[in-house]
Amino acid sequence: MSATTSENPDLFTSVYKHFRRLSDTECYTEAYSIVNHPTVFQQCPITISIDLDPSLGLQPISNWSLYSCKFCDGLYFLSNPFTSTGQRQWIDRCINIYARQTKTSVGDNSNNENLSRIRWATLGYHYDWTNKIYKQDDHTKMPDELAQLCKIIMQVISSSTGCSMMNAEAAIVNYYHMNSTLCAHTDHSEYDALTKPLISLSFGNAAVFLIGGQTKTECKPSPILLRSGDIILMTGSSRLCFHAVPRILSDPLLNDILYKNIDDNDEVCWSYIHDKRINVNVRQVYS
């Protein structure tokens, strides 16, 4: 990895700091979205059709749009895969099931009293944050619905792009408050990161997601706007690229799109998600 010097500056961190300083409105304008920056995306036709289990909360595949990102080789953006009901169901699972696992940032959270403090939960093979490894014997069952969702997403993307399939063996659920950030990092603890794609689901408020090169000095990172229901897929060389989340952005449309006419059960979810973002990051750990 090349060291940061005056001739070789840390371009990643300067763009990260730039987004830290912007207003929400400026972030919405600068971060890449299909609507505001169509030229940085290239649409990939989806030809496959699959019968979908309604419990996955997905739109018919004919409504999905898949794009490759011209600014990062191997990175794909999948727009519009979920129904609004489906998004509410995934938010509900993240809050009421996944956040109650024993492996969370607040320990055993089965009574949910620490819900507002929770920062992450791990599923499947649990990530050991200190040693940055997964252990074969530290494993709980991957939730069936999440494994099924990832299988469908992989079938669609693989049939359109030729990328290899991925078995959902581990997930990190990230719970962000409006002032949370995620520093620059690469996810390389998995056995075969380069050939096994990573699926990343976004729910709740929006985020600026930065993705750069395999070092922090080789190029400026590009900003992508991630909104509720968006999916990104890191395949091939993008799988080894530095990425970060410098900003969570309040999404003024969230209530209208997701929680109009809510019932009592959804009201609990809204009171959690209205000022949060949830990201579900799914990986294959072993070959």
Ligand X SMILES: O=C(O)CCC(=O)C(=O)O
- From the annotation, which residues make up the binding site? 185, 187, 243
| Contact flag: residue 134 with ligand X (CB under 6 A) | no
The gap between the terminal CA atoms of the chain, to the nearest Å, is 26
Looking at beta carbons only, is 30 or 262 nearer to ligand X? Answer: 30
Across the strands, what pairs with 79? 65
79 binds, among ligand X, Fe ion, none (CB under 5 to 8 A by kind): none
| Contact flag: residue 243 with ligand X (CB under 6 A) | yes
| Contact flag: residue 266 with Fe ion (CB under 5 A) | no
Backbone phi, then psi, for 37, in 5-degree steps? -135, 55
The CA distance from 5 to 9, in Å, is: 5
Dihedral angle over CA of 180, 86, 283, 27, nearest 10: -30
- For the chain, the residue count is 287
Looking at beta carbons only, is 48 or 183 nearer to ligand X? Answer: 183
The CA distance from 192 to 196, in Å, is: 6
Binder among 172, 199, 231, 269 for ligand X (CB under 6 A)? 172
x/- letters, 154..193, toward Fe ion (CB under 5 A): ---------------------------------x------
279 binds, among ligand X, Fe ion, none (CB under 5 to 8 A by kind): ligand X
x/- letters, 262..281, toward ligand X (CB under 6 A): -----------------x-x
172 binds, among Fe ion, ligand X, none (CB under 5 to 8 A by kind): ligand X
Both tokens assigned to 16: 């990260």
Looking at beta carbons only, is 230 or 266 nearer to Fe ion? Answer: 230
Q: Least distance (Å) from ligand X to the CB of residue 174?
A: 5
Sign of the Cα torsion 81, 83, 84, 90 reads negative
Known binding positions for Fe cation: 185, 187, 243
Binder among 200, 222, 228, 238 for ligand X (CB under 6 A)? 200
Both tokens assigned to 137: 């014997």
Q: Is 134 exposed, middle or buried (0-12, 13-18, 19+ CB in 10 A)?
A: buried
Order of strands across the sheet with 133-139? 41-44, 65-69, 75-79, 231-234, 198-204, 276-283, 170-177, 120-128, 133-139
| Contact flag: residue 182 with ligand X (CB under 6 A) | yes
Instruction: Give me the residues that bind ligand X (CB under 6 A), please.
Output: 172, 174, 182, 187, 200, 207, 209, 226, 243, 245, 279, 281
